[in-house]
Amino acid sequence: MRPSLVVLSAVLFSTACASVPRADLEPLVTDRPDFTESSETIAPGMAQLESGATVQRVGEETGTTVGEALLRVGLAPRAELRLGFNSYAVVRSPSGRQQGLEDASLGAKVGLLPGGGVVPKMSLIVASSLPTGAQPFRATKLQPEMKLTAAWDLSDRVAFSSNLNYSWIRDDIETVGEVAATGSFGFGLTDKLGLYTEYFGFFPQQAFAPASHYSNMGFTWVFNPNLQLDVRGGIGHNGLGRRDVFSGIGVSRRW
């Protein structure tokens, strides 16, 4: 395990020991570790911090990201504020090494449908990156996106979630759209242990730009009603003949 993941593991353990559960809350639902965002919103007056670390290899390039922090704050019964804090990234390639903070983000999630039966629970997420990162990783303009989420409870132990996303990829020369789609099955193995398996893909609207496809799976462990730990791993093909391999760990804490 890389040193950054060892440090994060120690933080997870110390946070777990300090967590105090509240019996009157709904079950903890997070937007990590899969790429698919949930349709749940944070209860008014509550806050939830989700964070982690990822190690990735793309061809001859390797990267480590630590932080991945998303603070979700409940504003109303079906609305939340979303603050994405800068992650620290290190990228190594045959041409050298780059490191520094990535861009932060700001957004909101609004519940659209409560769901029930064959009707999915649906929400809309609107967000944008903020050009606050270090030079190797900072975008020159805002990168807005929208995500339509849908979720079905298939049984007491099985659920399916899907997202349809649209992003505006902007630079100093042009703006290009990109569609992304996801599908994720979640399984409650026990009251505390969960498993998910997922597909997600990106489909650039720029001429001749290749699509990329990924699959991944992972486990979640509900340490107590306000704290969840996770681990994940996956592979993908980015359309350029290079295979992506990634893995990571994370923690989510509710107050």
Rounded percentage of the chain residues whose pLDDT exceeds 90: 80
Angstrom distances, CA of residue 237 to CA of 5, 89, 240: 25, 21, 8
Which domains does the chain possess?
Answer: 3-254 (2.40.160.40)
Residue 161's DSSP bridge partners are 151, 184
% of the chain beyond a pLDDT of 70: 89
pLDDT digits (tens, 9 = 90+) for 158-195: 999 999 999 999 988 899 999 999 999 999 999 999 99
Is 80 exceeded by the pLDDT of residue 20? no
User: Which two tokens mark 100?
Assistant: 């520094």
Q: Which two tokens stand for residue 192?
A: 């505390």
The predicted pLDDT at position 18 comes to: 44
pTM: 0.88
Nearest to 192 by CA among 225, 222, 234: 222
Inform me whether the pLDDT recorded for 41 exceeds 90: yes
Residue 213 to residue 245: CA distance in whole angstroms: 12
* pLDDT averaged over every residue in the chain: 90
Q: What is the pLDDT of residues 119-133, one digit of tens each?
A: 999 999 999 999 999
Please name which of 146, 231, 157 lies closest in space to residue 190, comparing C-alpha atoms.
157
Q: Please spell the DSSP secondary structure of 110-139, one letter per residue.
A: EEEE--BTTBPEEEEEEEEEES-S-TTT--
pLDDT digits (tens, 9 = 90+) for 61-109: 999 999 999 999 999 999 999 999 999 999 999 999 999 999 999 999 9
3-state secondary structure of 144: strand
The answer, yes or no, to whether residue 17 has pLDDT greater than 70, is: no
Tell me the average pLDDT across 16-37. 75
